[in-house]
Amino acid sequence: MKERTLGVLSPLTVSSIGLGCMGMSHGYGPAANVDEMVGLIRKAYDLGVTFFDTAEVYGPYTNEELVGKALEPIRNHVKIATKFGISMEMEKFTQVLDSRPETIRKSVEGSLKRLRTDHIDLYYQHRVDPDVPVEDVAGTIKELMDEGKILHWGLSEASIKTIRAAHAILPLTAVQNEYSMFWREPEKELIGVLEELGIGLVTFSPLGKGYLTGGITKDTKFTKHDFRNSVPRFTKENIEANMALVDFIKGLAIEKDMTPSQVAIAWLLYQKPWIVPIPGSRSLRHLEDNLGAADVSFTQEELKRIDEVLDSIHIQGDRYNANNQANVGN
């Protein structure tokens, strides 16, 4: 698999498609079998993936433990991204934003232990904490970099103002955001700002949380602990209303002799050379399918036609429940 570089002032080279590991133990129903997921992560490496994404809050903690166990034998050959800034109040089972310097230090030590490593390649603030100035966050990260515990840092789902402020203090390597044919909001401003500043974009949910695979219909029933049960975009009515997008992608897939997932991921790769999608998977079949997108090619005429059709399709439903915007689906 080809590689891509995230960031200009603080560059990090990774595989052009990474692996989002969250769904193996968090967010999409009961956690998968640990040994099976360890095998899947190692198979991803065999297939060319060198970039693996997790977070402290996934589980919480169990996803980092899984990733650490899987990658320990090949640690020097891969890049690990994890995140801080969201903690769980287990009694209420609610998420709390906390990026105080002392919390960041506690988080990084815990992540290093669970990941079985002495450094984190890319450390994101998972969500911006409105009660902690970005200057304090960047200052703490700088100290951790000087100690060799963090090599690069980034922000997830941050505003343009926060991105500019943080980058001015300590250069960001990457911003992580949802971006796909199903959610094109980053095209309005974010992508232009990242290009201006020389910051890479890591895109979570490149398959629209499964919607762009073509495997979800209005009759789909999600398991009890699947966070999509609370996402407006996945109500029966909105799934049906947005089916025009899926039908279009399926048509493209037939034309190109590929799968809908490959169409969706390949389209992202063609948007900018510094965009790296991190689709998740629990099965070898889906993993191989997703990684096959790296070999897909589009002509400029095809890309123009795709954009024209996407512009004509109106997507219904918000991507998060308005009452819980901190809800982590990435």
Amino acid found at 58:
Y
The DSSP letter of residue 73 is G
| Strand (E) or helix (H) holding 285 | helix 284-291
* E strand map for 21-78: 51-53
Among residues 45, 58, 179, 320, which one is catalytic?
Answer: 58
Structure tokens at 73: 């034998």
* CB burial readout 134-143, b (16+ within 10 A) else e: beebbebbee
58 is catalytic: yes
Q: 3-state secondary structure string, 205-237?
A: CCCHHHHHHCCCCCCCCCCCCEHHHHCHHHCHH
Structure tokens at 148: 């060799």
Cis before 60 (ω within 30): yes
- The closest of 212, 202, 170, 198 to 81, measured between CA atoms, is 202
Contact 129, 103 (CB under 8 A): no
- The closest of 2, 85, 9, 120 to 330, measured between CA atoms, is 85
Amino acid found at 112:
L
The residues that are catalytic are: 58
